[in-house]
Amino acid sequence: MILYHPTARATDILADGFRDRVSYELVTRSGRTITLTGVPLIDQPIVKAGRDLLMVDLPEAIHMGDYEVVEEDSPPGRRREWLVPADLLNQVGRVTLWTDSDRPR
């Protein structure tokens, strides 16, 4: 499975690996705050100005459902998102830099 990580730190990540970061803080209906950490990954290659795009190839044996962020009432066909522990990505992920040759024609 190939997922994507837009970043301004591609050189650092390729040299030293991913690091967990706080990605979301959610407030539950009861008012409790839950902090989610990990490395955000998406299922579509989105290139943003000033950012590189890393492709993360993960083995099919990884159960990605454990890491998917699912928002209530999200529209069908919306891009999918995951928060994956940096240790897992650094151990089993194969990370490469997206280049123009990776763009669909």
Q: How far apart are CA 12 and CA 36, in angstroms?
A: 23
pLDDT of residue 78: 78
Tokens 């940096």 correspond to what residue? 86
Q: Could you please report the per-residue DSSP string of 2-63?
A: EEEEEES-HHHHHHH----EEEEEEE-TTS-EEEEEEEEEESS----TT-EEEEEE--TTS-
pTM over 0.85: no
pLDDT of residue 56: 97
Asked if 7 contacts 51 with a C-beta cutoff of 8 angstroms, the reply is: yes
- Give residue limits of the domains in the chain: 2-102
In this predicted model, what pLDDT tens digit does every residue of 34-77 receive, in sequence order?
888 899 999 999 877 778 999 999 999 998 988 888 776 666 66
pLDDT of residue 21: 83
Asked if 6 contacts 55 with a C-beta cutoff of 8 angstroms, the reply is: no
Decide if pLDDT at 101 tops 80: no
Decide if pLDDT at 102 tops 70: no
